[in-house]
């Protein structure tokens, strides 16, 4: 049952996210501006002023307050959204954990940007990777069109499993890059997300509750185990919601992992976000030259799709993992560490190498994508390399 044709707009990633938020018409949005995600809430505040949404918009004095307001509002049963980036996300850090542990389905768009220092406003994934253990569902989009649709899906996913969800897009590359976005109409969005059914509401005077109580060595551990159920449930719900969306609107978005030209691939690149777009182009060119290379684009990193990765890397000779963040473990970036540990229990594993690239918005030209393919090919042929290499670094 595909819907009528999409409505096409020329929008940046920020505009696309704000437009999705307008169609969602959340009950509460609390936000503080920060480059490169400022526009999302700036545009959204215009919708509020123009009466195009009925949202209670709370302009706060910091991101710590923004997330705190989101927690309070969400605990009352409201549908709540916000947006941030980089230092803003870092300032929210302690409240992120609280939102997740209270099982509040807040949806937040993140314009992925480097963390200080030195101060930098451009794209990398160090902000979101710093929140990877906060208990939020984390998704990363390849382009602005995917951001628009993912934000809508995220509302349904989050509210079904009662966990907050972060939708990431590369700072400036996606947040400020204009694209043709194919939107669905307001009524379709409303019908798809329907209404939130909260686990509890602090405003329900018939059923008074205490939230956020002190919880020491006697039950904290059990509460954390209970929280894990949400993430395990998300592994089932994310593909269901994405499949429902694809069916209804004729789209083809991945739930966890997108495979590109993997059918007869002998080695693969594992990538996330906008760099995957560049990598697809590079793979097309290298395929013309006869190289059997494919791409696995990881869309969702929390919960981490380790079973799918095991399945999709079966029979590969080598994988090259692309990390737009440092982990300071001295064994590569965070994505490579997780991908490698996902494959560890297998009898036959591909050779693996990590490519740390694009930090602080360093350009990722197609020549660098070729370089990554070339090194991964050599690795598949048995050549030795260090655990990780830097791509695009002035050496």
Task: Provide the binding-site residues for another protein, judged by CB under 8 A.
Answer: 101-104, 162, 199-200, 207-213, 215, 219, 221-223, 225-226, 229-230
Q: Which C-beta is closer to another protein: that of 103 or that of 299?
A: 103
Least distance (Å) from another protein to the CB of residue 9? 38
Q: Which C-beta is closer to another protein: that of 212 or that of 365?
A: 212
Cα separation, 159 vs 156, whole angstroms: 5
Question: Could you tell me if residue 242 is left (phi over 0), alpha (psi between -120 and 50 degrees) or otherwise beta?
Answer: alpha
Q: Which C-beta is closer to another protein: that of 1 or that of 214?
A: 214
Largest CA distance in the chain: 69
Q: Taking a C-beta distance cutoff of 8 angstroms, is the pair 349, 343 a contact?
A: yes
Q: Which C-beta is closer to another protein: that of 202 or that of 337?
A: 202
DSSP-derived secondary structure letter, 392 = S
C-alpha separations of 212 from 94, 133, 158, 229 in Å: 13, 19, 20, 19
Cα separation, 175 vs 39, whole angstroms: 9
Least distance (Å) from another protein to the CB of residue 212? 7
Least distance (Å) from another protein to the CB of residue 76? 13
Cα separation, 202 vs 74, whole angstroms: 9
Least distance (Å) from another protein to the CB of residue 228? 9
Least distance (Å) from another protein to the CB of residue 224? 8
Q: Which C-beta is closer to another protein: that of 162 or that of 271?
A: 162
Q: Which C-beta is closer to another protein: that of 10 or that of 220?
A: 220
Helix (H) or strand (E) holding 346: none
DSSP β-ladder status, 257-260 and 293-298: antiparallel
For the beta carbon of residue 10, count every other beta carbon within 10 angstroms.
Answer: 10
Least distance (Å) from another protein to the CB of residue 231? 12
Least distance (Å) from another protein to the CB of residue 219? 7
Q: Which C-beta is closer to another protein: that of 221 or that of 366?
A: 221
Q: Minimal CA–CA distance to 11: which of 43, 48, 33?
A: 43
Residue 8 CA, distance from chain mean position: 24
Q: Minimal CA–CA distance to 304: which of 139, 177, 175?
A: 139
For the beta carbon of residue 11, count every other beta carbon within 10 angstroms.
Answer: 22
Q: Taking a C-beta distance cutoff of 8 angstroms, is the pair 83, 111 a contact?
A: yes
Least distance (Å) from another protein to the CB of residue 239? 22
Q: Which C-beta is closer to another protein: that of 51 or that of 208?
A: 208
Cα separation, 365 vs 197, whole angstroms: 46
Q: Which C-beta is closer to another protein: that of 219 or that of 383?
A: 219
Helix (H) or strand (E) holding 15: helix 13-24
C-alpha separations of 90 from 70, 147, 212, 254, 359 in Å: 16, 22, 22, 28, 17
Least distance (Å) from another protein to the CB of residue 200? 6
Please report, to the nearest 10 degrees, the dihedral formed by the alpha carbons of residues 378, 384, 386, 391 taken in order.
Answer: -20
Least distance (Å) from another protein to the CB of residue 205? 11
Q: Which C-beta is closer to another protein: that of 94 or that of 243?
A: 94
Least distance (Å) from another protein to the CB of residue 209? 5
Q: Which C-beta is closer to another protein: that of 5 or that of 209?
A: 209
Cα separation, 100 vs 302, whole angstroms: 12
Q: Taking a C-beta distance cutoff of 8 angstroms, is the pair 184, 3 a contact?
A: yes
């Amino acid at each position: 049952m595909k819907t009528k044709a999409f409505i096409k707009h020329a929008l940046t990633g920020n505009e696309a996210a704000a437009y999705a938020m307008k169609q969602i018409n959340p009950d509460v949005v609390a936000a503080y501006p920060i480059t490169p995600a400022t526009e999302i809430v700036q545009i959204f505040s215009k919708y509020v002023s123009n009466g195009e949404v009925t949202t209670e918009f709370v302009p706060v004095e910091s991101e710590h307050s923004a997330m705190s307001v989101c927690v309070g509002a969400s605990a009352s049963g409201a549908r709540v959204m916000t947006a941030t980036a980089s230092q803003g996300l870092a300032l929210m850090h302690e409240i992120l954990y609280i939102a997740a542990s209270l099982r509040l389905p807040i949806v937040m768009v993140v314009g992925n940007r480097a963390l200080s220092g030195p101060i930098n406003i451009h794209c990398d994934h160090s902000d979101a990777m710093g929140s990877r253990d906060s208990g939020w569902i984390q998704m990363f989009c390849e382009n602005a069109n995917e951001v628009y649709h993912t934000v809508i899906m995220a509302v349904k996913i989050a509210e079904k499993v009662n966990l907050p969800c972060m939708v990431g897009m590369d700072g400036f590359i996606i947040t400020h890059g204009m694209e043709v976005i194919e939107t669905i109409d307001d009524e379709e969005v409303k019908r798809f997300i329907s209404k939130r059914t909260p686990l509890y509401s602090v405003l329900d005077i018939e059923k008074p509750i205490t939230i956020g109580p002190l919880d020491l060595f006697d039950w904290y551990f059990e509460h954390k185990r209970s929280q894990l159920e949400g993430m395990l449930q998300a592994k089932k719900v994310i593909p269901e919601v994405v499949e429902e969306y694809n069916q209804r609107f004729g789209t083809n978005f991945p739930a966890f992992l997108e495979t590109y030209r993997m059918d007869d691939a002998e080695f693969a690149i594992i990538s996330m976000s906008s760099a995957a777009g560049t990598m697809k182009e590079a793979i097309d060119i290298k395929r013309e030259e006869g190289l059997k290379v494919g791409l696995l684009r990881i869309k969702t990193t929390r919960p981490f799709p380790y079973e799918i990765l095991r399945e999709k890397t079966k029979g590969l000779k080598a994988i090259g993992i692309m990390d737009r963040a440092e982990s300071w473990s001295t064994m590569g970036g965070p994505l490579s560490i997780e991908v490698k540990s996902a494959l560890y229990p297998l009898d036959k594993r591909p050779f693996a190498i990590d490519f740390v690239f694009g930090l602080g918005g360093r350009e990722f030209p197609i020549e660098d994508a070729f370089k990554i393919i070339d090194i991964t090919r050599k690795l598949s042929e048995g050549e030795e390399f260090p655990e990780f290499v830097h791509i695009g670094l002035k050496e």
